Amino acid sequence: MKMTPEMVRAQERMAPGVITAQGFLGNDPRNVAEIIAEDERYFALYEIQIDRLVAKMRELQDAGRAGLGEAITVAPYWEVRVNEARGVLPCPFSDGVYGKINTIVTDKQSGRELVFSDLTTHLIEAHHFFQGQGSPFRHEPEDYVLILHL
């Protein structure tokens, strides 16, 4: 996949210290187009719609909000905690701003945990961008699929 001019600009904004202190690319040597293409291949291979993942992320966040910052059980598999902080973060692709809301989902069967922000959810939904390897907010597609029981 070729880098579009939009991706080139977004990748510049993903550097540490531009939007967030740690940035979005971690220590991944790949460019944004390569990261997106490789993660899309995973979902194509397992015939899982990325939209289904996003719908599940939103469903768990909405359910978790009822806990008002405390962890609550969401049947049948999860414990969910939602933390909200003041302020917003812009998307590096410059198409919106997102609240600093973190959702922490624990799969009670495996004990494994996912943490995602509203911006993370947007990046996956709108851009199929899961962030670079080593980024604090990257989880592998397989982790989403297993922990969210897709």
Q: Which residue is nearest to Zn ion (CB)?
A: 91
Residue 14: strand, helix, or coil: coil
- The residue among 32 and 91 lying less far from Zn ion, judged by its C-beta, is 91
91 touching Zn ion, by CB under 5 A: yes
Select 85 or 126, whichever has its Cβ closest to Zn ion. Answer: 126
Helix, strand or coil, per DSSP, at residue 97: strand
Closer to Zn ion by CB, 51 or 142: give it: 51
Interface segment toward Zn ion; rule CB under 5 A; list 26-34, 48-56, 84-92, 128-136: 84-92
CA distances from 93 to 74, 108, 130 (A): 33, 35, 13
- Amino acid letter for position 143: D
Q: How far is the CB of 144 from Zn ion (least distance, A)?
A: 18
Choices 13-21, 102-110, 119-127, 138-146 (CB under 5 A): range interacting with Zn ion: 119-127
Q: Is 93 in the site for Zn ion (CB under 5 A)?
A: yes
In the complex, least distance from residue 33 CB atom to Zn ion, rounded to whole angstroms: 15
Q: Does 126 bind Zn ion (CB under 5 A)?
A: yes
- Cis peptide upstream of residue 76 (ω within 30 degrees of 0): yes
CA–CA separation, 82 vs 57, rounded Å? Answer: 12
Structure tokens at 28: 């991944």
Candidates 33, 30, 27, 31; CA nearest to 1 is 33
Does residue 95 belong to the site contacting Zn ion (CB under 5 A)?
yes
Q: Looking at beta carbons only, is 57 or 91 nearer to Zn ion?
A: 91
Give the whole-angstrom CA distance, residue 82 versus residue 64.
6
Applying CB under 5 A, which residues contact Zn ion? 91, 93, 95, 126
